[in-house]
Amino acid sequence: MYTQPDRPAGRGRKLTPSPVKQAALAAGIPVEQPESLKSQAARDTLAAYRPDLMVVVAYGLILPRKVLALPRLGCWNVHASLLPRWRGAAPIQRAILAGDAESGVDLMQMEAGLDTGPVLLERRTPIDRADTGGSLHDRLSALGAEVLADGLRRAVAGETLAPTPQPEAGVTYAHKLDKAEAKLDFQRDALALERQVRAFDPWPVAEGEIAGEPLRIWAAEAIARDHAASPGSVLSAGRDGIEIACGSGALRVTALQRAGGKRIGAADYLNARPELRGAR
């Protein structure tokens, strides 16, 4: 089993093994943790295992061509998008941000390019308007395990999975998330802001200002509402949420977090800021 080296985590920044390493050790599986696979020594160690097939899931390190060529059946990658849409690091969040109607998991034969290899198997799932980055991640994780298990069963049975080359049309790249993207700009359309809130739950969590106070916005919904208010101003506030004027429509914030606090509902927040209940 290969996984990245232990990394600092938590408040104490203590070196912490990955969940993959913990599961492998519990099962009695040897674990390798090279900083990279570019050195001859790292490749020699890998070659000594004489792999028939290598499976890569969110490994985070680039596999050189010489490594890709080591296994008899090559290398497979489980990727959380419907390729060629959303190649790259953050396909789940990018799909929600873009308002995609569906996502899925592709079992892909790896090659030197970034997520460019042919697709062997695929599973699809609709993206619901209630989906967050976390909920879609969990559903795709289950589909990924399903599609990988199917592929492995068929490979063990001697079946050769038919590779389907990715079409040249429709290629998009899911660039790595940047914390700066979490800032809500109320000049934008309310539906775009709703997607931003959903996509960045649970990380990095959307951030916005309500009546002068910077907050983390955990849950919100776009509503159709005509208004002449300045974007970012509070239109109304009550038990159902706090409605913020947007460039088009309004964003009803239903769950948020104050600095140093925990996630709370809008009603609890208004108990601390009752002056907002009179907003119009």
pLDDT digits (tens, 9 = 90+) for 150-202: 999 999 999 999 999 999 999 999 999 999 999 999 999 999 999 999 999 99
pLDDT at 277: 84
State mean pLDDT over 228-254.
97
> What's the CA gap between 80 and 105, in Å, rounded?
5
User: Could you tell me the two tokens for 16?
Assistant: 């912490």
pLDDT at 62: 84
Intra-chain end-to-end CA distance of the chain, in Å: 59
What does the pLDDT look like over 32-81, one tens digit per residue? 999 999 999 999 999 999 999 999 998 988 899 999 999 999 999 999 99
Of the chain, the percentage scoring pLDDT greater than 90 comes to: 95
Burial status of residue 190 (CB atoms within 10 A of its CB: 0-12, 13-18, 19 or more): buried
Instruction: Provide the residue ranges of all domains of the chain, joining segments of one domain with +.
Output: 34-174, 179-278
Question: Which segments are annotated as binding site?
Answer: 81-84
Confidence category of residue 279, pLDDT binned at 50, 70, 90: low
Residue 45 · residue 31 · CB < 8 Å: no
Determine whether domain 34-174 maps to CATH 3.40.50.300: no
Amino acid identity of residue 47, one-letter, is A
Q: How far, CA to CA in Å, does 129 sit from each of 126, 186, 219, 221? A: 10, 20, 12, 9
Tell me the CATH number for domain 179-278.
3.10.25.10
The overall average pLDDT reported for the chain is: 96
Would the pLDDT of 104 be above 90?
Answer: yes
Is cis: bond before 126, omega within 30 of 0?
no
According to DSSP, the β-strands at 87-88 and 173-174 are: parallel
Would the pLDDT of 278 be above 70?
Answer: no
Would the pLDDT of 280 be above 60?
Answer: no
pLDDT at 61: 85
Would the pLDDT of 132 be above 90?
Answer: yes
pTM of the model: 0.94
User: CA gyration radius for the chain?
Assistant: 23
Confidence category of residue 92, pLDDT binned at 50, 70, 90: very high
Question: Which segments are annotated as binding site for (6S)-5,6,7,8-tetrahydrofolate?
Answer: 81-84
